[in-house]
Amino acid sequence: MTKSWLSPLAVVLCASTLAAAPDREITVPAGTALRVRLDTSVASDFSRSEDPVRARLVDPLVIDGRAVVPAGSVVNGSVTQAKPSGKVKGRARLGMRFDSLIAGGERYRIQTRPWTRLARATKKKDAATIAVPAAGGAIIGGIPGGKKGAAIGATAGGGAGTAAVISTPGSEVRVGRGAVLLVRLSRPLTIRVR
């Protein structure tokens, strides 16, 4: 009779000990790379500083062979800079950083290094936009007017090409929904795990 009540008591004591097991803290070091997939589209020409950015971890965050944060965990941040392209000077620039991570139902404050991109330069394209009409003007002007006509034609063609360059903005930086970015933690992150 004594044995019949001891077994259930042992199970209850073991279960309560497991349920009361304290959470362990694991520190993710600064410099750890996080691959994130954007849920939000951002661009230098339509985003503004402080616009929210949402992403999800592509891969689990693994420390000492143990996944401490699962893939798909939400990472939130904001646009830090969004400068559209200028018409003559100024390349477009886009920047963002992430400041929170949601894992296991808990929100953790994180800090990542800024992610920034600068639009490609358009100097070669601009030079061609000016040179081609100038050459065409020189050829057309040179037929009836010789050297003087060629000079006038080149000036007129070059002026038209310059006007086209001045009135056309350069390239923008656009990062669409679903794009995968690599960001790095700029300070350690402590996660509670069971």
- Angstrom CA distances, 112 to 72, 136, 140, stand at 18, 52, 58
User: Which amino acid, one-letter code, is at 45?
Assistant: D
Token pair for 125: 């394209």
What is the domain partition of the chain in residue ranges?
Answer: 22-120+171-193, 123-169
Specify the pLDDT at position 42: 95
Contacts of 132 (CB under 8 A, 6+ apart): 161
Specify the pLDDT at position 85: 82
Specify the pLDDT at position 185: 96
Specify the pLDDT at position 147: 60
The phi and psi torsions of 155 (rounded to 5 degrees) equal -65, -45
Rounded CA-CA distance 83/90 in Å is 9
Determine how many CB atoms are found less than 10 A away from the CB of residue 48. 10
Q: What is the pLDDT along the chain (194 residues), one digit of tens a residue?
A: 555 555 554 444 444 444 555 678 899 999 999 999 999 999 998 999 999 999 999 999 998 888 999 999 999 999 999 998 875 557 889 999 999 999 988 999 999 999 999 876 554 444 444 455 545 544 555 566 556 655 555 465 545 544 444 444 468 889 999 999 999 999 999 998 87
What does DSSP assign to residue 99? E
Specify the pLDDT at position 104: 86
Q: Structure pTM?
A: 0.64
Specify the pLDDT at position 31: 95
Specify the pLDDT at position 143: 64
Note whether 183 and 25 are within 8 A (CB): no
**Under CATH, domain 22-120+171-193 is a member of which superfamily?**
Type IV secretion system, VirB10/TraB/TrbI (2.40.128.260)
Specify the pLDDT at position 172: 86
What are 104's strand-pairing partners?
A: none
The phi and psi torsions of 14 (rounded to 5 degrees) equal -65, -45
